């Protein structure tokens, strides 16, 4: 059978159209970016736009209790479906591709099958999961983790954002507190296409990334409490400066990386740093900050966490402050099914596309689904050193089209399979 090819112009137009929802002018870069933080009005508008697209494709749409929205195309047999998905929520400073390529690409595959009047043995489901980014409610892969049982629905319903707005009410407010069961019944396989969000494929000149797995992720929220005081009159030795304590922890992250003790691939970031009262002439009495650790090696990750927690205590003592911390997100490294990796590599090769195996630096819904079924990912290269979580994030129409063609091939290979004997 000749291979199906997706409609690249249609895919690109969909990415552009969804990218206009939540569009904002990014001050530092002077570029147009996307801000569709989870469960905001913009997320709601983006969700409704995707739902309308699914309905026009004749998919049966369901919304579950954590706001995961699925569109189902019937198969010839009543077998477990093949699931494609990703997310359409974004960080507040996003581009148009992170997550959206997987969702719109999945729909493009379904539309390509419909145009070619191709049926599949198994049903096909295209889903988008709630709050993959974790930027608003503090824990990432939230919807897919509820779907697969890592997080409990009641616990995540109670999460609040920085303004104290509670997740369940926010889900209801945008009209996506559904009634379908949030626990996912395991699909036959899960496939996700995503922009790489890093420089590897572009630097290697490869067209397709065969993702071998996702590295471990550990997030801490720090609340450092000292004593606010007059900047001009308070002698240095009498200070309890929460800002200095946070700065020392941030520098410690750099020193830990430089030491090499936690492996060459470890990454560490203090992305949030909010001093109170935050005034030029007041010693900060309180800082809320975040720590994001990533490591492909679980043992080295545990060592880094233990050493860092010991350092929090040391800094607290030395700076006369208390360093409180809580774990807001934690996932071990997750390998993807070899079967899926092999099929992605074979599909790329059959289309004459160059490919390379790589570990994902970013977290993805696929890592949650990997606990329930064979799961895997197709990466496409990003331009400008693969920059992401930034309005400059970009992949070309051709690269995106290549990724979704490969997704289509791998989808068809799983969708025609029967149950293993």
> Cβ 185 to Mn ion, closest distance in Å?
24
When the beta carbons of 92 and 186 are compared against ligand GLV, the nearer one is 92
286 and 275 in contact (C-beta within 8 Å)? yes
> Cβ 219 to ligand GLV, closest distance in Å?
9
> Cβ 309 to Mn ion, closest distance in Å?
26
When the beta carbons of 64 and 133 are compared against ligand GLV, the nearer one is 133
> Cβ 363 to ligand GLV, closest distance in Å?
4
Residue-wise over 365-385: b if at least 16 C-beta within 10 A, else e? bbbbbbebbbbbbbbbbbeee
When the beta carbons of 43 and 409 are compared against ligand GLV, the nearer one is 43
Q: Which stretch binds Mn ion (CB under 5 A): 91-99, 160-168, 319-327, 333-341?
A: 91-99
CA–CA separation, 294 and 363 (whole Å): 10
Which among 105, 108, 99 has a CA at the least distance from the CA of 22? 99
405 is an interface residue for Mn ion by CB under 5 A: no
When the beta carbons of 96 and 188 are compared against ligand GLV, the nearer one is 96
33 is an interface residue for Mn ion by CB under 5 A: no
266 and 304 in contact (C-beta within 8 Å)? yes
Q: How far is CA 178 from CA 82, 127, 181, in A?
A: 22, 14, 9
Contacted by 140, from ligand GLV, Mn ion, none: CB < 5 to 8 Å by type: ligand GLV
Count the neighbouring beta carbons within 10 Å of the beta carbon of residue 70.
23
> Cβ 101 to ligand GLV, closest distance in Å?
13
Instruction: Using CB under 6 A, pick the residue from 71, 81, 363, 386 that binds ligand GLV.
Output: 363
Helix (H) or strand (E) holding 235: none
Contacted by 99, from Mn ion, ligand GLV, none: CB < 5 to 8 Å by type: Mn ion
99 is an interface residue for Mn ion by CB under 5 A: yes
Residues contacting ligand GLV: total by CB under 6 A: 4
CA–CA separation, 97 and 360 (whole Å): 16
> Cβ 90 to Mn ion, closest distance in Å?
7
Across the strands, what pairs with 202? none
Contacted by 363, from ligand GLV, Mn ion, none: CB < 5 to 8 Å by type: ligand GLV
Alpha helices in 80-197 (DSSP H): 100-115, 142-147, 153-157, 167-173
362 is an interface residue for ligand GLV by CB under 6 A: yes
Sign of the Cα torsion 262, 267, 272, 273 reads: positive
DSSP tag of 337: P
Which among 366, 358, 360, 305 has a CA at the least distance from the CA of 330? 305
Positions in 139-178 near ligand GLV (CB under 6 A): 140
Sign of the Cα torsion 92, 183, 86, 335 reads: positive
236: helix, coil or strand? helix
> Cβ 134 to Mn ion, closest distance in Å?
9
Contacts of residue 54, defined as CB under 8 A and 6 or more positions apart, other chains included, come to: 61, 71, 107, 126
211 and 341 in contact (C-beta within 8 Å)? yes
Q: What is the CA radius of gyration of the chain?
A: 23
Positions in 88-127 near ligand GLV (CB under 6 A): none
> Cβ 112 to Mn ion, closest distance in Å?
23
Positions in 35-94 near ligand GLV (CB under 6 A): none
Instruction: Using CB under 5 A, pick the residue from 64, 98, 368, 405 that binds Mn ion.
Output: 98
> Cβ 388 to ligand GLV, closest distance in Å?
8
341 and 271 in contact (C-beta within 8 Å)? no
When the beta carbons of 362 and 412 are compared against Mn ion, the nearer one is 362
When the beta carbons of 269 and 354 are compared against ligand GLV, the nearer one is 269
> Cβ 234 to Mn ion, closest distance in Å?
42
Helix (H) or strand (E) holding 246: helix 242-259
Positions in 223-262 near ligand GLV (CB under 6 A): none
When the beta carbons of 99 and 209 are compared against Mn ion, the nearer one is 99
When the beta carbons of 130 and 228 are compared against ligand GLV, the nearer one is 130
When the beta carbons of 243 and 386 are compared against ligand GLV, the nearer one is 386
Instruction: Using CB under 6 A, pick the residue from 133, 196, 241, 319 that binds ligand GLV.
Output: 133
CA–CA separation, 157 and 171 (whole Å): 9
When the beta carbons of 129 and 262 are compared against ligand GLV, the nearer one is 129
User: Residues interacting with ligand GLV, by CB under 6 A?
Assistant: 133, 140, 362-363
User: Residues interacting with Mn ion, by CB under 5 A?
Assistant: 98-99
């Amino acid at each position: 059978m000749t291979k199906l090819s997706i409609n690249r112009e249609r895919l690109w137009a969909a990415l552009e159209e969804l990218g206009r929802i939540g569009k904002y002018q990014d001050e530092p870069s002077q570029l147009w970016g996307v801000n569709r933080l989870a469960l905001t009005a913009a997320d709601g508008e983006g969700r409704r736009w995707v739902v309308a697209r699914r309905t026009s494709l004749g998919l049966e749409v369901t919304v579950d209790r954590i706001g995961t929205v699925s569109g189902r195309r019937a198969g010839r047999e009543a077998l477990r479906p093949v699931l494609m998905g990703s997310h359409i929520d974004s960080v507040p400073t996003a581009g148009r591709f992170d997550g959206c390529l997987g969702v719109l690409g999945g729909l493009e595959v379904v539309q390509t099958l419909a145009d070619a009047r191709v049926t599949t043995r198994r049903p096909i489901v295209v889903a988008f999961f709630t709050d993959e980014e974790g930027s608003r409610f503090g824990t990432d892969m939230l919807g897919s983790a509820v779907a697969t049982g890592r997080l409990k629905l009641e616990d995540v319903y109670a999460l609040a954002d920085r303004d104290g707005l509670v997740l369940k009410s926010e889900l209801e407010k945008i009209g996506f507190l559904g009634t379908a069961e949030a626990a996912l019944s395991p699909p036959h396989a899960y496939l996700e296409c995503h922009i790489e969000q890093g420089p590897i494929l572009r630097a290697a000149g490869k067209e397709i990334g065969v993702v071998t797995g996702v590295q471990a992720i550990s997030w801490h929220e720090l609340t450092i409490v000292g004593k606010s005081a007059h900047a001009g009159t308070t002698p240095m030795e009498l200070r309890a400066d929460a800002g200095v304590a946070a700065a020392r922890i941030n520098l410690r992250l750099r020193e830990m990386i430089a030491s090499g003790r936690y492996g060459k691939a470890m990454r560490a970031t203090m992305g949030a740093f909010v001093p109170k009262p935050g005034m030029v002439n007041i010693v900060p009495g309180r800082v809320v900050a975040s720590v994001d650790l990533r490591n492909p090696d679980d043992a080295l990750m545990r060592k880094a966490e233990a050493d860092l927690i010991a350092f929090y205590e040391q800094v607290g003592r030395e700076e006369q402050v208390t360093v409180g911390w809580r774990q807001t997100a934690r996932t071990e490294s997750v390998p993807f099914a070899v079967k899926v990796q092999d099929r992605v590599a074979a599909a790329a090769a059959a289309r004459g596309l160059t490919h390379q195996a790589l570990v994902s630096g970013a977290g993805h819904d696929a890592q949650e689904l990997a606990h329930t079924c064979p799961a895997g990912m197709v990466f496409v290269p990003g331009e400008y050193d693969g920059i992401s979580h930034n309005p400059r994030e970009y992949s070309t129409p051709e690269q995106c089209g290549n990724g979704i063609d490969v997704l289509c091939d791998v989808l068809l290979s799983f969708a025609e399979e029967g149950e293993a004997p």
